[in-house]
Structure 1
């Protein structure tokens, strides 16, 4: 047996080249998305501080433009500052807006910057540039990950994915505004940004109706025990996105809190709706007992897309009556873990156990979902009923910071409320690049020679 040798020579960079990592997120401080401010984040492990950081509406590395905002006195190794710059009316490049019909969008293998840039400087010397970006094609364009099983990928996701209201200013209910809504963006926009796992809780409207369980208009997205929006329109958006992008997306039907208890026929009706709306793009499992049959978490992107299929549907198949419970269109739910009822230190300890994948970890060689969320009940432990935004603003930055170390290489699905105040998509992409590189070079021996 012969081994190839990969020689990597590393050397210590001059101080100014060890630039402090910076990135942009969207604050949760606005009553609407347009009123929300841009957040500047830096770190972790920012040791060589820049003299100042600027926010720009054009790329400052290609043309001189004055900053929209300027931040000085960066002295901590990591941090976050809410700027005075508002998002305003956000538009995607042509073809990637939900209302852009009959337009073939441009592919962006490495993402596409929106007009929100952040750059760090020493005096007039430019150190780093980053931007708020969309990543509509990252999964299908990233080298080598198409050959990796889903359970080995870091898949960025959202919790309560469709718990979104387009115009909160017209919503009179405080309960809806502060506790039911869990995302700043609709499902279409989440997918354009780069989210690839969607979590759905489903309710059945008109729960006294026992005779019309196949009525697709009765199936609703639910959050905090409230009906939010019809499921059918969400499925149509998902289908249109994957047909444009050719990206693989996981739909996880995680709970059924309204109208499904002791009503298996409603599960059958929901299964009928899924076949009707997305059946032609859902991966159909090979249920052969012959050697080679795979569990859904063992599938690769390459295998899923082979016949122009793009969706994996996770579903509690035991809730369906026979023979629908053996539907080849549905995969059993993956293991799911949540921080909903944990305080911050408990969440960290839980992550340490899960992401270590040591012998005592409940996670081994399987697909799994980590939900970085806090429940309303947990917030009451702090003697204050925090809104969904307040809970996410506390937890999200901590979890994304913890994931930037070696835990990112152990992650599978990670889902957030209000994902937009994290850079979880970039974190996942960098982790998957690392994983793919390791897989592609697994027969190489790596010697590191460090020159000071």
Structure 2
């Protein structure tokens, strides 16, 4: 859908009453459990995600960030139990769980709880744990079969250097976000008008800290403002891009990983402001000075090449950033790379998205892509969708897509995908699957 249609649809949507979210309340009363011992049972799969759905309830109470528990339903036995816990289940005693469920009684292989994951201005791991706030344990016959948690992954690339170091950028799995700068919590003053514009909840720093390494950035030139360059999604403006760049630098100061800052969309009236394109390039190079990886490394570079450049520039204590630039405006700049190729299904149907991305993965398997590319794993609402709110906003669209992408990526695409870009990424397991997939592909 083009920008003009998007603007018209947003304006019409404001006067249409949004459909309420149907909340699930599937909590079973909890009690303590004494188990025998924990074992590593790899054929049991379980993980936690954060629902993208959010709503305002009565008395202005915000319903948001509900924890979801996901498991491998096909291996469930009648007496299996799943426990959500506020601590790591390192002993055989699972006292005072937050929640207990019996998966064998459920038709689905996931459940949305009424327990909220907290908001973080800046997430961290001061406790030196990769886990944040909640853990889950799968128990069978009083034995812990599998555990997981909501994870932070600030250094997963550097920790996997022996695996991904010899690989080209296009040959590894990289978790990403779509329209990364269009982030906001539900209590934004523009809540209604941004229902079909906001694509993330976590800010840029948090996206990176949770493990995202590809950022899809859209920049517009606003000549009558002090900052000039702003992030946006369609007609909705978010914040000066300088603020998001600072978050990237703050992250790279504490991590040696590589980040792709892909400026895929640039909105400039070049007829009226012909100098704005070069001003944006100069602005980016000034803001990212000391962090950028040069274009002459090319997409043929391995991660070892990227890290070696950082070493040679005496910047080995920091991470590096590849800044790409929309190809229509790029020219022969030495520091700005060609934009990542987006594989965009442009559909509002989950089944059609799967068909499209399967075809892309087949092309990748045949070696037809000699560049970095991203599987854009989200639905595209039509004007009718926005006016009628048929998808319940982009949050509802992500809820339809994300758990499907989990399965597709894990079960079918590990050997063929490159970048996988999600909306509301914590509603998926994309980071863990990419880390796991790189071990399978190159380990």
The TM-score normalised by the length of structure 2 is 0.80
Q: Secondary structure at the match of 1:250?
A: strand
Q: Work out whether residues 158 and 198 of structure 1, in 8 Å CA contact, stay in contact via their aligned partners in 2.
A: yes
2:50 paired residue number: 26
Report the counterpart of residue 156 of structure 2 in structure 1.
138
Matched, 1:192 2:197: no
- State the distance in 1 between where 2:249 and 2:222 align: 23
Matches within 5 A, 1:68-217: 68-74=98-104, 79-90=109-120, 96=124, 112-142=130-160, 143-165=162-184, 168-176=186-194, 178-206=195-223, 217=227
User: Secondary structure of the residue that 1:188 maps to in structure 2?
Assistant: helix
CA distance in 2, matches of 1:154, 1:267: 32
What is the CA–CA distance in structure 1 between the aligned matches of 2:117 and 2:293, rounded to whole Å? 37
Indicate the residue corresponding to 2:5 in structure 1: none
Deviations 1:29-48 (A, max 9, x none): 33489832100011275455
Is contact 1:22-1:42 (8 Å) kept? yes
Q: Give the TM-score normalised by the residue count of structure 1.
A: 0.78
Rounded to whole Å, the distance in 1 between the matches of 2:40 and 2:261 is 44
Q: Quick one: which of 375, 379, 387 aligns to 1:370?
A: 375
Structure 1, residues 275-330: CA drift from partner, whole Å, max 9, x if none? 111022101233xxxxxxx5x2211222112223611111124415xxxx211101
Q: Distance in 2 between matches of 1:52 and 1:173?
A: 38
- Which residue of the partner structure matches residue 295 of structure 2? 285
State the match for 2:10 in structure 1: none
1:236 counterpart (232, 246, 258): 246
2:16 aligned residue:
none
Deviation at 1:379, TM superposition (A): 6.8
Give the alignment partner of residue 302 of structure 1, picking from 294, 301, 304: 304
Shift of 1:363: 4.1
Q: Which residue of 1 aligns with 2:342?
A: 336
More displaced 10-residue stretch of structure 1: 349-358 or 156-165? 349-358
Distance 1:56 1:261, change over 3 A: farther
In 1, the alpha carbon distance for the partners of 2:354 and 2:434 equals: 19
Deviations 1:325-362 (A, max 9, x none): 21110111232111332522211111211112378x79
- 1:260 CA drift (Å): 5.2
Structure 1 position 40 matched with structure 2 position 69? yes
Q: How many angstroms apart in 1 are the aligned matches of 2:435 and 2:42?
A: 21
Counterparts of 2:145 and 2:200 in 1: how far apart (Å)?
33
1:320-335 matched pairs, under 5 angstroms: 320=330, 325-335=331-341
- Does the aligned pair in 1 maintain the 2:179–2:217 contact within 8 Å? yes
CA distance in 2, matches of 1:381, 1:30: 17
CA contact (8 A) 2:54 2:395 kept: no
Alpha-carbon distance change, 162 to 126 in structure 1, aligned in 2, over 3 angstroms? same
**CA contact under 8 A between 1:41 and 1:78: conserved in structure 2?**
no
In 2 relative to 1, CA 52–222 (structure 1 residues): closer, same or farther, beyond 3 Å? same
Structure 1 range deviating more: 413-422 or 249-258: 249-258
Task: Indicate the SS of the match to 1:393.
Answer: helix
1:357 to 357, 360, 363: 363
Shift of 1:86: 1.4
Aligned to 1:289: none
Q: CA deviation at 1:76?
A: 7.0
Aligned match of 1:58: 87
Taking a change above 3 Å as real, the CA distance of residues 16 and 192 of structure 1, as seen in their structure-2 partners, is closer
**Which deviations, in whole Å up to 9, do the C-alpha atoms of 1:125-159 show, x marking residues without a partner?**
21111000100000111132112100101010000
Question: How many correspondences in the alignment?
Answer: 389
CA distance in 2, matches of 1:223, 1:183: 11
Q: List runs of 5+ in structure 2 lacking aligned partners.
A: 1-38, 57-61
Match of 2:427 in 1: 421
Structure 1 position 381, deviation (Å): 9.7
| Deviation at residue 391 of structure 1 after TM alignment | 0.7
In structure 2, the partner of 1:432 is: 438
Check the 8 A contact 2:50/2:65 in 1, yes or no.
yes
- C-alpha contact 1:34 1:90 (8 A) present in aligned 2: no
1:416, CA displacement in angstroms? 0.9
Inter-partner Cα distance in structure 2 for 1:185 and 1:413: 19
Q: Note if contact 2:77-2:104 (Cα within 8 Å) is conserved in structure 1.
A: no
CA distance in structure 2 between the aligned counterparts of 1:116 and 1:47, rounded to whole angstroms: 22
Q: Is the 8 A contact 2:163 2:438 kept in 1?
A: no
Q: Note the C-alpha offset of 1:414.
A: 0.8
